Amino acid sequence: MSRALHFRDARIICPVAGERRGDLFVADGRIVDAADDAQVIDCRGALLAPAIVDLGVASIDHGAFRAGGIVRVGLMPDQRPVLDEPGIVQRSALIGRPNLWIHPIAAATRGLEGTDLAEMAICASAGARAVGTGRSWIADSGVMARVLAYARDLGLAVVVHSEDAGLVGDAVATEGETATRLGLSAAPALAEPIAIARDLMLAEAAGARLHLRQVTTAAGFDLVRAAKRRGVAVTCGITPAHLLLSDNAVSDFRTFTRLSPPLRAEEDRRAALAALADGTIDVLCSGHDPRGPEEKRLPFADASAGAAGAATLLPLALGLVRDDRVALPRLMAMLSRNPAAVLGIDTGSLQPGAEADLMLVDPDAPWQINADTLPGAAGNTPFDGLPVQGRVLRLFKGGRALA
């Protein structure tokens, strides 16, 4: 058992209790009111907050997670092999411990093909914390209705990608001036709200929990707001890229901006910031999907979609606080407590009794995002070259310092 810890003179940010300046104690891997013979860590006013729970990562990337303050991840089902068998789910859940806890999102359908339901109950017993559609959308409404009903009976959320595949096809961008000028194959932004509307109605009818992994359009946010007012058990997430960038960033054919869903129009980006401000958005995630040069140094239409986001999630998120877009305690809820709730995990708090998953952060530390030196498997970030502030000083999992 690790030694008790005394964090002294910290700026403590708790999603439940708010912000205070003072001390925090850890013993036996949990937060306590006081601890004897504790190792003193002088925080000197640095931020002490729950470590990040990153919901919906595409791959396990220990270096990027460590740098980004992430100690738990919700792993997407579209792995190789697909997470649709209990043995695969169980192995995925165990491979990161003790430093990283992986919470698999099991495939809703076999092979993520959208036809036959996967063995959700057995996968849940093997460690799956949710079921999901991966990077695709289940086009068959009858199949989706059965997925939602089955997941409801198991007490699991259904994590979905919201784009109507019939409208998207092989498009690589959002319809609009930028795509037209560049000659890129494009799909209407309407593909997202159409998918969201269908899934919301089915989830409401089934009484199921639905998490929209990324909502990126004004019409999509309007649908989520209305559903929440009706009492539908829906949550939604977004990445910093869709909050801070529009499809204007694609103008020089930079493949680092080739994302899924694609970057939207400036009006949709402003709608995303409004949804952040009014509480419509519940989860801020990295969408971490590192891609090497063999997948990105290609013509835009041939490059793989995806970006490395884990190491930059926290500094980009802290920029939203500095710009008065969101208060710090709520930001930490979006990074920790809310994604944990989607996965059915009781973490993301600094209340006594909570597991001591902690990050100590210097919110003002300046640095520049550099794709060539970004920690992790690859540095394909659309924010390459951007000056940011905020670094993780120390990271703790269950009260144990991570090297």
20: its two tokens: 């205070």
245: its two tokens: 């960038």
Among 118, 120, 53, 32, which residue's Cα sits nearest to residue 332? 53
Q: Note the pLDDT tens digit of each residue in 71-83.
A: 999 999 999 999 9
Q: Note the pLDDT tens digit of each residue in 363-375.
A: 999 999 999 999 9
Which residues, at least 6 apart from 113, have a Cβ–Cβ distance to it below 8 Å? none
With a threshold of 0.75, does the pTM exceed it?
yes
State the alpha helices, DSSP H only, in 230-356: 240-244, 266-278, 293-296, 313-322, 328-332, 338-342
Looking at this protein, which amino acid is placed at residue 378?
A: A
Q: Note the pLDDT tens digit of each residue in 106-155.
A: 999 999 999 999 999 999 999 999 999 999 999 999 999 999 999 999 99
Instruction: Give 336's pLDDT tier (boundaries 50, 70, 90).
Output: very high
Is residue 228 scored above 70 in pLDDT?
A: yes
Domain spans, the chain: 52-349+366-385
Is residue 102 scored above 70 in pLDDT?
A: yes
Angle at 209 between CA 30 and CA 148, to 5 degrees: 130
Average pLDDT, the chain: 97
Instruction: Give the architecture-level CATH label for domain 52-349+366-385.
Output: Alpha-Beta Barrel (3.20)
DSSP 390: E
Q: β-strand 173-174 against 186-187: which pairing, if any?
A: parallel
* Mean local confidence (pLDDT), 165-173: 96
* Mean local confidence (pLDDT), 199-205: 98
Percent of the chain with pLDDT over 70: 100
The per-residue pLDDT for 3 is: 87
Instruction: Give 403's pLDDT tier (boundaries 50, 70, 90).
Output: low
The per-residue pLDDT for 377 is: 94
Q: How many residues does the structure list for the chain? A: 403
Which residues, at least 6 apart from 270, have a Cβ–Cβ distance to it below 8 Å? none
Spatial distance between the Cα atoms of 146 and 158, rounded to a whole number of angstroms: 11
The per-residue pLDDT for 2 is: 77
The per-residue pLDDT for 214 is: 98
The per-residue pLDDT for 1 is: 61
* Mean local confidence (pLDDT), 274-291: 98
Among 66, 39, 8, which residue's Cα sits nearest to residue 402? 66
Spatial distance between the Cα atoms of 141 and 154, rounded to a whole number of angstroms: 20
CA distances from 67 to 52, 181, 226 (A): 11, 38, 37
Spatial distance between the Cα atoms of 133 and 114, rounded to a whole number of angstroms: 8
* Mean local confidence (pLDDT), 35-52: 97
